[in-house]
A = this chain, B = another copy of it.
Amino acid sequence: MSISSVADWAGVSVATVSRVLNGHANVRPETRERVMAAVESSGYRVNELARNLRTAESRLLLTMVPNVGNPFYAEVVRGIDSVARQHGYFMLLCDTGADPGRERSYFDLLRRRRADGAICLDPATIQQALAEESGALPWVACCEFDQAVGVPYVGIDNYRAAGDAVRHLLARGRRRIALINSGDGYLYAQQRQQGYLDALTEAGLTPDPRWLVNLDSLDYAAGAQAAAALASAGSIDDTPDAIFAVSDTLAIGVINGLRGAGRRVPDDVAVIGFDDIAVAAQIDPPLTTVSQPMQELGRTAARLLLQRLANPSATVPGVLLPHRLVIRSSA
């Protein structure tokens, strides 16, 4: 049941069927109706494999994400999906586990014409490699980005956001502020760390290296463990009186770990997170955090990519979306 059977059925040529299917002008209303009737009654559907070969586009957007299981990424993905759909594109979702090998093989989908463009949320270290080999392949960076890579991006000002978090803690009278970070590969992690460091020194404080922990993980459990370690490293006033975690998942784990160590939040130690995932408002105590516009981050990334696809030569800007400090009870 191909386009030619429909053509036969309607007593027209395949060209005409194609025209009405694609809503072209220059088809007599009468003919159009005849074709439509044939389409209806035959239950015909275009074979988009064929159409795509012919038009040389897949109408698929590739999304490469370290872990959809992380609520932050899941929301971003939803944002991408929503605007892709709106524009007649679908989303190929690839969970890379931030693994360079997997990442590269996924990215190859672009070269194989299985996707028209890609959105990458993976570590900047990987993105740099991608950019080198990618030639002019259409892709954009989302959330994690390196301005120097020269690829369109959307994200937030991680440096300032981290500074805002730390300054809030400072304003609340905290002085022994720890940072629980997610590790090196991510530029956002480095930027937040720098924001933390600078905010501290600007306040006349000397960052204590014992209180700067890098985890290489965003898991709840990792946060809990790290917090327990921090708390058990000394007496209550020789250990941090505040912890800034670079993600809400970590922060929630931190609160749990602190509880296990017998520390009260925020009385003994204040905790501030990052992202503002849905569950952050539900826990006890409700989490103070730096909110990112997760869905909008995804939507913008998709828009940038679509823009790039529509006009490959135009220079697409990098865009920074606003973050916002959401003060609840944990800090």
Interface residues of A (CB under 8 A from B): 45-50, 52-53, 56, 58, 60, 67-69, 71, 74-75, 77-78, 81-82, 85, 90-95, 102, 108-109, 111-114, 219-221, 224, 249, 252-253, 255-256, 259, 278-279, 281-284
Say yes or no: A112 contacts B46, CB within 8 Å: yes
Chain B residues closer than 8 Å to A252, beta-carbon distance: 279, 282-283
Nearest 4 A/B pairs, CB to CB: A93-B93, A45-B111, A256-B282, A48-B112
Say yes or no: A220 contacts B93, CB within 8 Å: no
A281 and B284 CA atoms in complex are apart in Å by 13
Say yes or no: A95 contacts B108, CB within 8 Å: no
Interface SS of chain A: helix, strand, loop or mixed? helix
Q: How many copies does the complex hold?
A: 2
A45 and B134 CA atoms in complex are apart in Å by 13
Q: Smallest distance from the beta carbon of A328 to chain B beta carbons, Å?
A: 12
Q: A220-B278, A259-B284, A283-B284 are in contact. List 17 more A-B contacts (CB 8 A).
A: A45-B112, A45-B113, A48-B113, A49-B52, A49-B53, A50-B53, A53-B53, A68-B77, A68-B81, A69-B78, A71-B71, A81-B94, A82-B95, A85-B102, A219-B278, A252-B283, A284-B284
Chain B residues closer than 8 Å to A94, beta-carbon distance: 81, 85, 90-91
**Nearest B-chain residue to A285, judged by Cβ:** B284
Task: Given A68-B78, A75-B69, A82-B95, check contact A114 B282 (CB 8 Å).
Answer: no
Can you report 5 residue pairs joining A to B where beta carbons are below 8 Å apart?
A: A49-B56, A67-B78, A81-B95, A90-B94, A93-B93
Say yes or no: B112 contacts A47, CB within 8 Å: yes
Chain B residues closer than 8 Å to A56, beta-carbon distance: 49
Say yes or no: B114 contacts A93, CB within 8 Å: no
Chain B residues closer than 8 Å to A102, beta-carbon distance: 85
**Nearest B-chain residue to A55, judged by Cβ:** B49
Among B60, B95, B284, the residue within 8 A (CB) of A92 is B60
A68 and B74 CA atoms in complex are apart in Å by 6
A69 and B283 CA atoms in complex are apart in Å by 18
Among B47, B82, B220, the residue within 8 A (CB) of A113 is B47
A78 and B70 CA atoms in complex are apart in Å by 11
